């Protein structure tokens, strides 16, 4: 049996029963110490290997954070609750909308004369936020309210009243356990810029991971989308421009996001929101109306609406038209003519004077548009209802044809076909659809019809609009530089794993050999 290997289990389980002589016991002593040292290295390497593996692949605990933003628009107020993982807060696209709430009632600016009703107005949605967000997170949850063009108009008319509305909101929100960060009127510039951040963040255009989960460099990221927001009282256009723009126009802003610079052009047209545009159009045409009646091509044949003429001139946007008409009842009668409707809408845009190289309308300089655009809010509501979104209709001719057909459909037919749609919206889709087309044409975007994507919820979750961008900015959640996504870079991780694995293999082999040798001394 001399020289033969002991069976495998002997290497590990057999114990020496007798020491043969002095010489061999010394050798055994050294070989046993060697085994101890190797064993020690083996255990250390094993611990290091496990630690590296765990650090890299640690399953992050479900530690979520929340944020609440109220969008106090001119026509209505909505609340959005956003949610994100606390550990990954600087990664893109990880903040999403977890719930939303429509505040019942009109826009907040109409509460100027009944401030006492503001708590009732907002408390239902606040109650929803309290129920949805775990109690222990309430104090850490930032709460914002941003008001847009309805409040901008009220401020122009009566600054004191606008302040009183915001104070009423502030005292109400301070009574809730959330981390209230303020209620304010955001500027049109912010509204455009935050809308642009929202859609590009959600579409993953600001930074990209590759398959190894590394952030890509500047030239590897995708082109951003321009943002088109259409509200009730104002509308914004925002896009990255490569045109050098003179500082005098003050229409651009610089962003540094995830290590990349963006020069963004943005402009907000007050009184060009869809509701104010309709009001301006009706006010403008009221002067030519035969006593008591106004023929309106943007409403369906057979549709009638009676308004008090004073209501047409009560807005800051229509005051300029107020002159010879004393208040009286005016019946608006639809004639359903798309082409005439379009012509009358065109009159709402001024094209007469431009003090720059190029203006879209209303003397506002704008550089040439570039790339794709995401159009949301009332752009989406109108085009989605009319089944005219750019993925469904491929050419402008088709859109025009469908609009002609829709506008000329008698109101009785439309009303019967869509009993579930709010009458205000349904009766105005011919106008709002035509307005969307005219506005896009004024922006020179209709030539590139398929480059305009009408969008509502991005990734089926988060509504496109300024609110998410606003919160991301105020919570510093979009870093200027690229964040490190893992404790080790991928090459370091791989190198460490290979080194420790090799070390383990060597120690194991050496250990086995030494153990085997020492067992000969024990025999
Ligand atoms: N489901 C809908 N269908 C049609 N229009 C809608 C729908 N929901 C909202 N709108 C319209 O979208 C616009 C939203 O504007 P809003 O955000 O309130 O104003 P602003 O941004 O100018 O302050 C309003 O004109 C409103 O009537
Ligand atoms: Ca809005």
* pTM higher than 0.90: no
C-alpha distances (whole Å) from 387 to each of 49, 142, 209, 522 are 58, 38, 35, 89
Average pLDDT over residues 28-46: 73
pLDDT in the model for residue 461:
96
Q: What is the CA radius of gyration of the chain?
A: 34
Give the residue, by CA position, lying nearest to ligand 1 atom 10: 378
| Other CB atoms within 10 A of residue 121 CB | 19
CA 320 vs. chain centroid, Å, equals 36
Residue 438 near ligand 1, beta carbon < 6 Å: no
Domain boundaries, the chain: 187-484, 485-523
Give the pLDDT band of residue 97 (cuts 50, 70, 90): very high
Ligand nearest to the CA of 73: 1
Cα 58 to middle of ligand 2, angstroms? 41
Residue 231 near ligand 1, beta carbon < 6 Å: yes
Number of H helices, E strands in the chain: 15, 16
pLDDT in the model for residue 436:
98
Whole-angstrom Cα distance, residue 22 to residue 166? 95
Instruction: Choose the residue to mutate in 75, 279, 280, 376 for probing ligand 1, maximizing ligand atoms within 8 Å of C-beta.
Output: 75
pLDDT in the model for residue 244:
82
For residue 149, give the ligand 1 atom closest to its CA. 23
Q: What is the pLDDT of residues 410-467, one digit of tens each?
A: 999 999 999 999 999 999 999 999 999 999 999 999 887 889 999 999 999 999 999 9
Give just the sign of the alpha carbon dihedral 275, 276, 279, 280: negative
Whole-angstrom Cα distance, residue 186 to residue 177? 24
Average pLDDT over residues 380-384: 97
Ligand nearest to the CA of 424: 1
More confident residue, 517 or 443: 443
Beta strands in 131-176 (DSSP E): 142-147
Q: What is the pLDDT of residues 202-236, one digit of tens each?
A: 999 987 655 555 555 555 456 999 999 999 999 99
Residue 147 near ligand 1, beta carbon < 6 Å: no
Residue 76 near ligand 1, beta carbon < 6 Å: yes
Is 55 annotated for ligand binding? no
Place of tokens 């903040």: 95
Cα 232 to middle of ligand 2, angstroms? 7
Residue 233 near ligand 1, beta carbon < 6 Å: yes
Whether the pLDDT of residue 269 is over 70: the answer is yes
Residue 425 near ligand 1, beta carbon < 6 Å: yes
Cα 274 to middle of ligand 1, angstroms? 8
Place of tokens 């110490």: 33
Ligand nearest to the CA of 466: 2
Average pLDDT over residues 104-129: 98
Whether the pLDDT of residue 57 is over 70: the answer is no
Give the pLDDT band of residue 317 (cuts 50, 70, 90): very high
Instruction: Identify the weakest region by mean pLDDT among 19-28, 171-180, 238-247.
Output: 19-28
State both tokens at 124.
């239902």
Cα 196 to middle of ligand 2, angstroms? 13
Average pLDDT over residues 232-257: 86
Residue 305 near ligand 1, beta carbon < 6 Å: no
Instruction: Identify the weakest region by mean pLDDT among 28-42, 178-192, 303-317, 505-519.
Output: 28-42
Instruction: Choose the residue to mutate in 378, 379, 429 for probing ligand 1, maximizing ligand atoms within 8 Å of C-beta.
Output: 378
Query: Predicted ipTM?
Result: 0.99
Known catalytic residues?
191
Whether the pLDDT of residue 291 is over 50: the answer is yes
Give the pLDDT band of residue 522 (cuts 50, 70, 90): low
State both tokens at 511.
């250990």
Give the pLDDT band of residue 20 (cuts 50, 70, 90): very low
Instruction: Choose the residue to mutate in 190, 231, 236 for probing ligand 1, maximizing ligand atoms within 8 Å of C-beta.
Output: 231
* Average pLDDT of the chain to the nearest whole number: 86
Instruction: Determine phi and psi for 82, rounding to 5 degrees.
Output: -105, 150
Is 235 annotated for ligand binding? yes
CATH of domain 187-484: 3.30.420.150
Cα 185 to middle of ligand 2, angstroms? 12
Q: What is the pLDDT of residues 61-73, one digit of tens each?
A: 568 999 999 999 9
């Amino acid at each position: 049996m001399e020289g033969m290997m002991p069976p495998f289990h002997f290497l590990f389980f057999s114990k020496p029963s007798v020491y043969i002589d002095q010489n061999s016991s010394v050798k055994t002593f050294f070989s046993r110490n060697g085994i101890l040292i190797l064993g020690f290295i083996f255990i250390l390497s094993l611990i290091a290997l496990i630690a590296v593996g765990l650090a890299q692949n640690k399953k992050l605990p479900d530690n979520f954070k929340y944020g609440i933003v109220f969008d106090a628009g001119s026509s209505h107020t909505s609340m959005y609750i956003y949610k994100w993982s606390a550990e990954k807060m600087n990664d893109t696209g990880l903040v999403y909308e977890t719930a939303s709430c429509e505040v019942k009632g009109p826009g907040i600016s109409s509460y100027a004369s009944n401030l006492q009703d503001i708590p009732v107005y907002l408390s239902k949605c606040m109650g929803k936020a309290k129920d949805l967000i775990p109690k222990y997170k309430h104090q850490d949850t930032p709460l914002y309210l941003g008001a847009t063009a309805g409040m901008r108009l009220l401020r122009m008319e009566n600054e004191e009243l606008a302040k009183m509305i915001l104070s009423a909101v502030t005292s109400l929100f301070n009574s809730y356990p959330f981390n209230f960060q303020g209620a304010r009127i955001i500027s049109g510039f912010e509204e455009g810029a935050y809308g642009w951040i929202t859609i590009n963040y959600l579409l993953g255009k600001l930074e990209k991971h590759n398959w190894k989960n590394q952030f890509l460099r500047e030239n590897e990221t995708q082109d951003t989308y321009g943002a088109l927001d259409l509200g009730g009282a104002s509308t914004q256009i925002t896009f990255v421009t490569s045109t050098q723009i003179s500082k005098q126009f003050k229409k651009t802003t610089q962003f540094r996001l995830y290590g990349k610079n963006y020069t963004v052009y943005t402009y907000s047209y007050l009184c060009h929101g869809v509701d104010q545009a309709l009001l301006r159009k009706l006010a403008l045409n009221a002067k030519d109306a035969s006593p008591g009646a106004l023929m309106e091509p943007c409403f369906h044949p057979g549709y009638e609406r009676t308004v008090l003429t004073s209501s047409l001139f009560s807005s800051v946007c229509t005051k300029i038209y107020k002159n010879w008409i004393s208040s009286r009842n005016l019946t608006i009668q639809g004639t359903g003519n798309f082409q005439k409707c379009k012509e009358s809408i065109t009159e709402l845009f001024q094209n007469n004077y431009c003090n720059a190289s190029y203006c879209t309308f209303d003397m506002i300089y704008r550089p040439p548009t570039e790339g794709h655009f995401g159009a949301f809010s009332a752009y989406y509501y109108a085009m989605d209802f009319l089944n005219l979104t750019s993925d469904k209709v491929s050419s402008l001719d088709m859109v025009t044809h469908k609009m002609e057909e829709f506008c000329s459909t008698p109101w009785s037919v439309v009303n019967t076909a869509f009993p579930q749609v709010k009458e205000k919206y349904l009766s105005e889709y011919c106008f709002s659809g035509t307005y969307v087309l005219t506005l896009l044409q004024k922006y020179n975007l209709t030539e590139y019809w398929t480059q305009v994507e009408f969008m509502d919820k991005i990734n089926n979750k988060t509504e496109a609009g300024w609110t998410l961008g606003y919160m991301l900015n105020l919570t510093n959640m979009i870093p200027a530089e690229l964040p490190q996504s893992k404790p080790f870079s991928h090459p370091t991780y791989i190198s460490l794993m290979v080194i420790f694995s090799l070390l383990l293999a060597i120690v194991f082999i050496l250990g086995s050999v030494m153990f085997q040798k020492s067992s000969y001394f024990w025999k």
